[in-house]
Structure 1
Amino acid sequence: MSGFNDQQLSNFIYAEARLLDELRFEQWLELFTADAHYWMPLTHGQTDPLLQGSLMYEDLLLLKVRVERLAGKRTYSQQPKSRCHHLLARPEIETAHPEHQPEKGQYVVRTAFHYVETRLEQQWLYAGWATHQLVTQDGALRIRQKRVDLVNCDATLPGIQLFM
């Protein structure tokens, strides 16, 4: 099995952000493994999403439910729909991370970001880091876990409607 190089890993991260910015959530969900999680810790340096509270810790089923809600005609909080934009720094391949094992088709990529979410006259700016644990499945990259660490994770935050 041939591994993925740094440019291919970076391109995957950029492509994922573009799917989110273009609100192509069904295609975005296809990037995840069946056992995937989307995690947004509540505190800095949080190590366990199950024994500590999190802003979000969603498996693939919950992500699908959120995507269905966003598309629903009776979801009044999304009329008109929210929009978003990711501004990403150059993704960094975390070779020292214990989950990073290219010989086993496992990669860890960390990316600093600014994220803007807007609806009507309101706009919110978030900053943080996304850490993707990627695996190779059927010759393609898939997300096993996406961890989103916000700079102000412990602040009182408005309802985040979309995905960072």
Structure 2
Amino acid sequence: MNRKDVIDFIYNEADLLDRMQWQSWIELYHPDARYWMPLEWQQTDPVLQPSLMYEDLLLLKVRVERLAGERTFSQKPKSRCHHLLQAPQLTALDEAAGTASTRTSFIYTETRGDVLERFSGWASHDLVTVDGALRIKLKRIDLINFDAPFSNIQLFM
């Protein structure tokens, strides 16, 4: 694992989401992974403080199955998304331990029917190498407007 591998991984993850390749996307996650969207600015605790989302791999898989299901009537028409990423910043890299951390500024657009919503913020990834492949241990989404009222966020940022 090197800097280029890590940055390519971040771009690939966003591309899988944009192309609705749910199964390939979920395979990027470590078995102990968490997907976290804090409710407060600079929040440090996802358990004792409320969060917009704090999901383990099982819950992510349930959401992916719902999105891929043919009888998911809340997804007719299906939601679509687009990630516009700045270049990921490598905040830590330990090649010997097989770990890396990144922070990426983004603009995320989600649409369903005639509704278009846009979110801005930062995605942080804690990555670990498992059997020679990078896996997401923690993905944290910090929205710039975390305190605004939201409708349902259907997909993954």
Identify the TM-score tier after normalising by the shorter chain. over 0.9
Superposed structure 1 runs of 4+ greater than 4 Å apart:
none
Provide Cα deviations, 1:8-65, integer angstroms capped at 9, x if missing partner: 1110000000000000011100000100000000011000100100000000000000
Q: Distance in 1 between matches of 2:35 and 2:62?
A: 13
Corresponding position of 1:136: 129
Q: Structure 1, residues 39-92: CA drift from partner, whole Å, max 9, x if none?
A: 000011000100100000000000000011112233222001000000000000
1:104 is aligned to: 97
Task: Kindly state the Cα deviation for residue 5 of structure 1 after the two structures are TM-superposed.
Answer: 1.7
Residue aligning to 1:26: 23
Q: Does 1:78 align with 2:75?
A: yes
Partner of 1:151: 144
* Structure-2 separation of matches of 1:72 and 1:134: 29
Return the TM-score normalized by structure 1. Answer: 0.93
Please list every run of 5 or more consecutive structure 1 residues that lacks an aligned counterpart in the other structure. Answer: none
- Whether contact under 8 Å (2:22, 2:68) holds in the other structure is no
Secondary structure at the aligned position of 1:65 is classed as: helix
Where is the strand percentage greater, Structure 1 or Structure 2? 2
Task: Point out the more displaced range, 101-110 or 43-52.
Answer: 101-110
Task: List runs of 5+ in structure 2 lacking aligned partners.
Answer: none
2:155 corresponds to which residue?
Answer: 162
Measured against aligned partners, the alpha-carbon deviations of 1:92-130 in whole angstroms (never above 9, x if no partner) come to 0003xxxx5332111101100000000111100000000
2: CA distance between counterparts of 1:101 and 1:6? Answer: 10
TM-score (norm 2): 0.97
* Count of aligned positions: 157
- For the residues of structure 1 that align with 2:95 and 2:39, how far apart are their CA atoms? 30
Distance 1:9 1:20 in 2: 17
- Please, what is the CA RMSD of the aligned residues? 0.9
Percent identity over the alignment is 58
Find the residue that maps to 1:104 and give its secondary structure: coil
Does residue 124 (structure 1) correspond to residue 121 (structure 2)? The answer is no
